[in-house]
Structure 1
């Protein structure tokens, strides 16, 4: 074990977050606007000027909005819905969490066998960063902030990669500083985070923090892959 390495619950989660952040900062160096907004395939989700988004629930407080589709429970989340139900969440609460009907939740809970994979949209780097920024900004506001502002109006999305990254890393630093103050008691507190989307308010904060780390890691992995594809888009052999 490296000298000084923390092995307590918060220490392990902070260490994981720090390592993922260090790798992400290296991987995102030199990101330009064209690459940031590059749509690998037709119909990709991205950020758009208000009024130009083709998706029904695109959101944002300013001129640029983030694509967002109709509410549903994707096949990859069927197991999460089952866990929510097993953990005591009512069907109506789960439906509210996913912004779907009670009938849709019942359909998911009644499903047997492997779910058919969804045809999910390909997303741009701008979308991935914007989505992650929006989620973390909302979680900070509803955990350490005033717990009153609408999460989807907290981030002013930008078509500039440098502007977006500057704002994003500022948030990451603020999130990390706030996490360092969390006590053991708060880690076990159900509802320490009151973030209104997802199951944060029904979970102990240690589970919320683990989920936030997972979200950060998997989205940064996707961004890294998009950077690799951008770099190789004209060099791949026929």
Structure 2
């Protein structure tokens, strides 16, 4: 099956943005992964079931975030959206195990974006305009065509990579 021509630029942007994100994370250490850029930065902590989850919840905090949280979010969003695009539409945030170290975090992030990319490349051209084709319930998906969601996901990747780069820059200069 060939990729719909109007999806091709978004896939190219996704691929380039992901490659740049992974390049920017080269040399990342576990200490840096968990470093708090401010005393009350948003990070990950075990929930009641012992699974790492964002704390405080993103909509409750304008705080800076740890790289651990950002990388986990980037993996989570791809896996979840893919499930609600052409999977079982059953995943919940508690179904995924967010990583507790850099190596697993980068693998989780790669898996998330590969899974999302696979969901996109499985679509036919007429599906790109379908409102709600991605039925991900915790986002804009039910009200937008999936082509717009693909654009939004790329924007999220770029945005969160910029946050990771910023936190890395702060970490590198923390003693200056």
Alpha-carbon distance in structure 2 between the residues aligned to 1:165 and 1:191: 29
Relative distance call for 1:146 and 1:165 in structure 2 (3 A) is same
- Deviations along 1:73-126, whole A, 9 cap, x unmatched? xxxxxxxxxxxxxxxxxxxxxxxxxxxxxxxxxxxxxxxxxxxxxx71111101
Match of 1:20 among 7, 17, 21: 17
Q: Which residue of 2 aligns with 1:89?
A: none
With normalisation by structure 1, the TM-score equals 0.67
Deviation, structure 1 residue 63: 3.3
Query: Helix, strand or coil for the counterpart of 1:177?
Result: helix
Alpha-carbon distance in structure 2 between the residues aligned to 1:175 and 1:70: 22
Match of 2:41 among 39, 44, 60: 44
Relative distance call for 1:143 and 1:68 in structure 2 (3 A) is farther
Query: Helix, strand or coil for the counterpart of 1:192?
Result: coil
Contact 1:190 1:201 in 2 (8 A): yes
Unaligned runs of 5+ in 1: 1-5, 52-60, 73-118
Q: How does 1:56-135 map to 2 (within 5 A)?
A: 62-69=50-57, 120-135=62-77
Q: Which residue of 1 aligns with 2:104?
A: 163
- Deviations along 1:9-59, whole A, 9 cap, x unmatched? 2011111111101101111112111000000111111011336xxxxxxxx
With normalisation by structure 2, the TM-score equals 0.89
Q: Which residue of 2 aligns with 1:10?
A: 7
- Deviations along 1:140-173, whole A, 9 cap, x unmatched? 11112101222x1232122211111112212222
Alpha-carbon distance in structure 1 between the residues aligned to 2:58 and 2:68: 20
Match of 2:172 among 214, 231, 238: 231
- Deviations along 1:166-196, whole A, 9 cap, x unmatched? 1221222222223222211010111110000
Contact 1:62 1:157 in 2 (8 A): no
Is 1:141 the counterpart of 2:83? The answer is yes
Q: Which residue of 1 aligns with 2:152?
A: 211
Match of 1:220 among 161, 170, 175: 161
User: For this pair of structures, how many residues does the alignment match?
Assistant: 174
Greater C-alpha Rg: 1
Query: Helix, strand or coil for the counterpart of 2:85?
Result: coil
Alpha-carbon distance in structure 2 between the residues aligned to 1:22 and 1:70: 26
Alpha-carbon distance in structure 1 between the residues aligned to 2:95 and 2:107: 15
